[in-house]
Structure 1
Amino acid sequence: MAPGGEKVFWSFMFLLAGAAAQTIRYQFGSTCAVRGSTVILPCYFTPLKSFSPEGRQIPLRIVRVRWCKNHPICQGTTPSVYDSNSTAREPRFHYLGNMEAKCTLQIRDIKMEDMGTFRFRMEADNSAGHFTNPTGVTISVADLIKMEIKSSSNKSEVSRGQTVSLQCITSTCTFTHLEVTWRKDGHALPGNGSALQLGPLTAKDSGNYSCALTSNMETQSEPFSLQVEEKEEKEFKLPLAAAVTFGVLLVVTTLILLIFIFKRKRTAAGSPNIMRGEAEMKTDHIYSNVLPPLLEETGSQKQEVEAEEISYASVQFKHSKHSRKAKEESDPTIYSSVASRG
């Protein structure tokens, strides 16, 4: 190989090595946008740090970044929607990246003519560091659409305490980044994302929800009715009612039992008075036979008491105050003879 050809060959190999080390990553390959909305194309890149021509290592530095439309390489004099080296920039296109790793592009108030494929290119202070990812991101633009709301619960009635996510979508195309305005019963809600997180749900979350593109309120969706059922409160009221009923029954039962016990005691206390009154009215002698216990003799012999003994005991009965004196004058003492058999 000629010396000149060898030099070109190695330079080409170094360029291939540099290209292999460089990367540009798009977060998605295609997206859909509604006319008048804002689109964000997330992008990240890794530049070549250095290259080594003829054995010498030379550092590289990114000096220019560009976004082009419908061009495979985006080099030279190719028209750009954004060029860091140009002051004449389209105001609808905003570069949200830097010169080191991020290359995100934002397109505001997107139009029908913005449909196409957008590609990012980075350029270094040496051509060895130039690189374009030809894959790009393809944008399709839809017009005159209505947004729709899709609930994660797949139904409009949900239980208290649950968490629900409402998505603002359209069947015309699939979105990646949207600026959405959410409303509940006609009042704007905070946040501008395509998803609205609600929860833990309470009765206050019940209402009619709608969404629309912030840049085009004509895209507002039909109202989505969300009803939160107070399931937990109902479940709580049932045990409470049962507890109250049980408490009332317990109190009533206790009162009935106490009244019954009180009457029993009152009846039992009145019985001796009745018997005592009957005894006071009798003036006859009361005789009772008392047999003494058997006496034990030495040798385990038993002996009966052979003699009868008569004991007298005086028994006095109290009478009422009015008849007490008359009773004592006529019959003050009542004798009782007690006989014992021998």
Structure 2
Amino acid sequence: MAVWDKNSLWGLLFLLAGAVGQTVIYPFTSTCAVRGSTVTLPCTFTPLKSFKVNQTEVPLKIVRVLWCQNHRYCYTNTPSVYDSNSANINPRYQYLGDMKTNCTLQIRDVQQGDNATFRFRMEADHREGHFTNKTGVTVRVDDGSKMRIISSSDDETLSRGETVTLLCASGCTFHQLEVTWFKDNHALSDTGPSLHLSPLTAEDSGSYTCALKANMETVSEPYSLQVEAGNLDELTVIRLVLFSAHTLLIVTVASIIIKRTCCLQHRSRSAAES
């Protein structure tokens, strides 16, 4: 049985504390993204706060963060998609994190070359604080996926006054999506993944399609929406009756005034002639 001296025991405890206290966590280790879309890789990290040198606690500070592609350790000299110490970064890769706990990376306008495993690395002002989670997040790029339209209603034929939401979706899971919506082949102003139509009118009837804004090859199959006249509700009927009655009253009063005016003018002429 090995005999541990005091210094060896402290060293073992330090290693265990470092292994527990220093972490990088990816909520998911794989995802899928359509070419041209935006994908976000959530990430949180816990840096080592300090380490011991001859029983003296030495504080650590994170001075550099990196994201690399297809490298197991993401060392300093490894080509990185993001490096906090470099100004020469591809603008498609946006670091949404900080130097404390958040290490989230966002990839915009996903390309086929992003079909890879991405790993995060933190570096402190001493090598004892350097750490890489070798698990990483694997991104699978779907190059030929078509979008599809999902309706909040099971019926393609709806009544006037109802509400429906159309969702532009894909077989892939991604976090942010800018799409172009079309109605009867004419582009609409909406760019979000959902199109909310309320209250429905006859003008909403038509053929709807959607596609990723950055990749029009992903245009969906058409979705046909028909809006019928439907039954008038009680309030609408009351309003129509009141409007008709009001209009009839105005016409009647106007007719009486015109008739009396004509009679007075006729009497005036007769009196003048006699």
Partner of 1:291: none
Aligned residues: 238
Aligned to 1:234, the other structure's residue is in SS state coil
Q: Cα deviation per residue 1:93-146 (whole Å; 9 max; x = unaligned)? A: 222222122222222333223212111111122233322223321111122332
| 1:234 alignment counterpart | 232
TM-score of the aligned structures, taking structure 2 as reference length:
0.72
Give, in whole Å, the separation in 1 of the partners of 2:73 and 2:159. Answer: 55
> 1:160 touches 1:200 (CA, 8 Å); kept in 2?
no
For the residues of structure 2 that align with 1:93 and 1:175, how far apart are their CA atoms? Answer: 15
Note the 1:202-221 alignment, pairs <5 A.
202-203=200-201, 204-221=203-220
CA contact (8 A) 1:67 1:81 kept: yes
Letter in 1 for 2:143: D
Which secondary structure state, in structure 2, belongs to the residue aligned with residue 134 of structure 1? Answer: coil
Rate the CA distance shift 1:2–1:137 in 2: closer, same or farther, 3 A: closer
- Distance in 1, matches of 2:182 and 2:8, equals 65
Residue 149 of structure 1, CA deviation: 0.8
Taking only the aligned residue pairs, the percentage that are identical comes to 54
Query: Which residue of structure 1 aligns with residue 18 of structure 2?
Result: 18
> C-alpha distance in 1, partners of 2:216/2:204?
23
- 2-side partners of 1:46 and 1:59: how far apart? 14
CA RMSD of aligned residues (A): 3.2
TM alignment of 1:288-303, pairs within 5 A: none
CA–CA separation in structure 2 for the residues paired with 1:239 and 1:165: 27
Bigger Cα Rg: 1
Q: Structure 2 counterpart of 1:164, which letter?
A: V
SS in 2 for 1:31: strand
Separation in 2 of the partners of 1:19 and 1:129? 11
Note the alpha carbon deviations across 1:29-57, whole angstroms, 9 max, x for none: 22222233333222232333334444433
Q: Could you tell me how far apart the structure 1 residues matched to 2:84 and 2:97 are?
A: 11
Q: Which amino acid is the alignment partner of residue 236 of structure 1?
A: E
**TM-score normalised to the size of structure 1?**
0.59
| Distance in 1 between residues matched to 2:150 and 2:39, nearest whole Å | 21
1:143 pairs with 2:140: no
Q: Larger RCO: Structure 1 or Structure 2 (Cα < 8 Å, ≥ 6 residues apart)?
A: 2
Give the 3-state SS of the residue equivalent to 1:68 in structure 2.
Answer: strand
Structure-2 separation of matches of 1:48 and 1:159: 61
Contact 2:147 2:211 in 1 (8 A): yes
CA–CA distance in 2 between the matches of 1:48 and 1:119? 18
Contact 1:35 1:142 in 2 (8 A): yes
Query: Aligned with 1:65: secondary structure?
Result: strand
Aligned to 1:44: 44
Which SS does the other structure have where 2:232 is aligned?
A: helix
Instruction: Determine helix, strand or coil for the equivalent of 1:85.
Output: coil
Distance 1:113 1:55 in 2: 48
CA apart distance, 1:215: 0.9
- For the residues of structure 1 that align with 2:152 and 2:173, how far apart are their CA atoms? 17
Q: Distance in 1 between matches of 2:180 and 2:224?
A: 17
Question: 2:11 & 2:154 partners in 1: Cα distance?
Answer: 61
Letter in 2 for 1:11: G
- The answer (yes or no) to whether the contact 1:65–1:123 under 8 Å persists in 2 is yes
User: Structure 1 CA distance, aligned partners of 2:206 and 2:21?
Assistant: 55
Q: How does 1:99-248 map to 2 (within 5 A)?
A: 99-160=99-160, 162-171=162-171, 173-185=172-184, 186-191=186-191, 193-194=192-193, 196-203=194-201, 204-231=203-230, 233-236=231-234
Work out the CA distance in 2 between the residues paired with 1:45 and 1:2: 33
Instruction: Answer whether contact 2:115 2:139 (CA < 8 A) is retained.
Output: yes
Match of 2:79 in 1: 79
- Aligned-partner residue type, residue 67 of structure 2: W
Q: Distance in 2 between matches of 1:160 and 1:18?
A: 64
Q: Write the distance in 2 (CA, Å) between the matches of 1:160 and 1:15.
A: 69
